[in-house]
């Protein structure tokens, strides 16, 4: 019985992610990267280097996903690629050196990127809402 609920929950999560707008999916990726950077920093401070390593690998995987989904025909994509590449290299360096200060820097970048995209998603939603509202129709005889 419990397995059935677990399967249903997994299917629900999968469907939820698959039906997200690209903007909301991007925000989830940023949130995941930030969360893993924080957990890796925790691991470093606790001298639990296995924990730190595992969370840094997860953060690197998320950054890689952000990189491969860019549409490189746009200038902004090229700029984001450079930022993501830098963040990826810093995560690798933090993992090798077990340096929490590097993670502070990476978290600042990721938080700024997330906050910027959060505003974009919010403005897009407002714009769609305004377009979907019925227009004032004047009915004169």
List domains and CATH numbers for the chain.
Answer: 21-126 (1.20.120.340)
In the structure, what pLDDT confidence band is assigned to residue 97 with cuts at 50, 70 and 90? very high
CA nearest 85: which of 61, 67, 105? 67
In the structure, what pLDDT confidence band is assigned to residue 4 with cuts at 50, 70 and 90? low
Average of pLDDT values for 14-18?
Answer: 57
On average, the pLDDT of the chain sits at 89
| Residue 34 near residue 114, CB atoms below 8 Å | yes
Average of pLDDT values for 23-29?
Answer: 96
Average of pLDDT values for 41-58?
Answer: 99
């Amino acid at each position: 019985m419990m397995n059935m609920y677990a399967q249903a929950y997994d299917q629900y999560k999968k469907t939820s992610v698959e039906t997200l707008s690209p903007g909301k999916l991007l925000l989830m990726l940023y949130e995941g990267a930030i969360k893993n950077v924080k957990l890796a920093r925790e691991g470093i401070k606790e001298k639990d280097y296995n924990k730190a390593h595992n969370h840094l690998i997860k953060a690197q995987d998320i950054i890689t996903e952000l990189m491969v989904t860019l549409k490189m025909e746009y200038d902004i994509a090229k700029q984001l690629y450079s930022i993501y590449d830098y963040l990826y290299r810093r995560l690798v360096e933090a993992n090798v050196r077990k340096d929490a200060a590097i993670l502070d820097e990476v978290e600042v970048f990721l938080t700024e990127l997330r906050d910027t995209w959060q505003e974009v998603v919010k403005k897009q939603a407002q714009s769609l809402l305004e377009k979907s509202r019925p227009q004032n129709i004047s009915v004169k005889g």
